[in-house]
Amino acid sequence: MIEVQHLTKRYGPFTAVDDVSFKVEPGEILGFLGPNGAGKTTTMRVLTGYMPPTGGKAIVAGFDVFEQPIEAKRRIGYLPETPPLYPDMTVRDYLTFVAKIKGVPRADRKARLDSVMERTRISDMATRHCGKLSKGYRQRVGLAQAILHNPDVLVLDEPTAGLDPKQIIQTRELIKELAGSHTIILSTHILPEVSQTCQRVVIINKGKVVAVDTPDNLTARIRGSETMYVQVDASGADAQGALSQVPGVRQIAVTETRGSVTGFEIDSEPGRDVRRELASAIVTRGWGLLELRPMRMSLEDVFLQLTTQDAAEPEVAHE
């Protein structure tokens, strides 16, 4: 539904987006994750036809955004970083104006407006001037204008930025409701956002794609195997011998010893949960099992690792 191919955007000598490629399947929510300045907004502006690329192309619903801009834009709803509201217009007048521009037929306009305002929970603000809205409402009116012409594709630039926690949850729910009937790409610099909303993530840093995967795979893949931390009250050598016999265990390292207590980091085969076997190997020998926990990296760690490696090679992932 969305295809970005070798997209590059330079501002003068500065390369903001560098050979970025990815795809979004119909009905999918793709998270576009990266620190501030990574190139998210630039990519979205190019993708929505607001700015030409320096190189590469973007195809939305089968239309090249630059060669067939009108056809493409008809199928895109865009929530820019700052919602494009007119401060002196009331919410209803503004949305009526947008509906006209976007070619919503006159006969459908009122019903369409009412349903979109209902959906984005702004009906009670219909007569309020846009300039007088709180940040949360401005963002929702921005979302309302993006979905007004019922586009196939929604491009949302940091849709929850600046909202309070309750509004963030409401916005996430609304986005999930919209998925399925729409294909969505949303950008964010906050991690929990992607694991809670998105099926797949593109991580971008300094204009380059550093990873494309599901939130779960990203977390697991970076290690290649699962690691457990186990703390046992037993002689280190005996415990090491016993634990290394557990099926599925690949590697075992002593990370601490304190009196009779030994801590191990145990690598196991990916996808194999060895916790029960480890526990029973310890307990049946009469040793004390003091701690047993997975050391899987959090998405936070993955993100840091991917975005702070200087020599990070662009990585093309399982798609």
Residue 38: which of Mg ion, ligand ADP, none does it interact with, CB under 5 to 8 A by kind?
Answer: ligand ADP
Q: How far is CA 60 from the centre of its chain?
A: 19
Residue 42: which of Mg ion, ligand ADP, none does it interact with, CB under 5 to 8 A by kind?
Answer: ligand ADP
Residue 245: which of ligand ADP, Mg ion, none does it interact with, CB under 5 to 8 A by kind?
Answer: none
Q: Does 11 bind ligand ADP (CB under 6 A)?
A: yes
- Residue from 16, 33, 65, 232 touching ligand ADP (CB under 6 A): that is 16
Nearer to ligand ADP, 37 or 270 (CB): 37
Residues forming the site for Mg ion (CB under 5 A):
40-41
CB of 189 to ligand ADP, least distance (A): 7
With contact defined as beta carbons under 8 Å apart, do 201 and 194 qualify? yes
**Stretch of 8-16, 62-70, 127-135, 285-293 contacting ligand ADP, by CB under 6 A:** 8-16
DSSP states of the chain = -EEEEEEEEEETTEEEEEEEEEEE-TT-EEEEE--TTSSHHHHHHHHTTSS--SEEEEEETTEETTTSHHHHHHTEEEE-SS----TTSBHHHHHHHHHHHTT--HHHHHHHHHHHHHHTT-GGGTTSBGGG--HHHHHHHHHHHHHTT--SEEEEESTTTT--HHHHHHHHHHHHHHBTTBEEEEEES-HHHHHHH-SEEEEEETTEEEEEE-HHHHHHHTTSSEEEEEEEES-HHHHHHHHHTSTTEEEEEEEEEETTEEEEEEEE-TT---HHHHHHHHHTTT-EEEEEEE-PPPHHHHHHHHHH-TTPPP-----
Nearer to ligand ADP, 94 or 303 (CB): 303
Nearer to ligand ADP, 155 or 220 (CB): 155
Nearer to Mg ion, 10 or 129 (CB): 10
Residue 139: which of Mg ion, ligand ADP, none does it interact with, CB under 5 to 8 A by kind?
Answer: none
Residue 34: which of Mg ion, ligand ADP, none does it interact with, CB under 5 to 8 A by kind?
Answer: ligand ADP
CB of 157 to ligand ADP, least distance (A): 7
Nearer to Mg ion, 91 or 163 (CB): 163
Residue 219: which of ligand ADP, Mg ion, none does it interact with, CB under 5 to 8 A by kind?
Answer: none
**Sites for ligand ADP among residues 18-47 (CB under 6 A):** 34, 36-42
Q: Which residues bind ligand ADP (CB under 6 A)?
A: 11, 14, 16, 34, 36-42
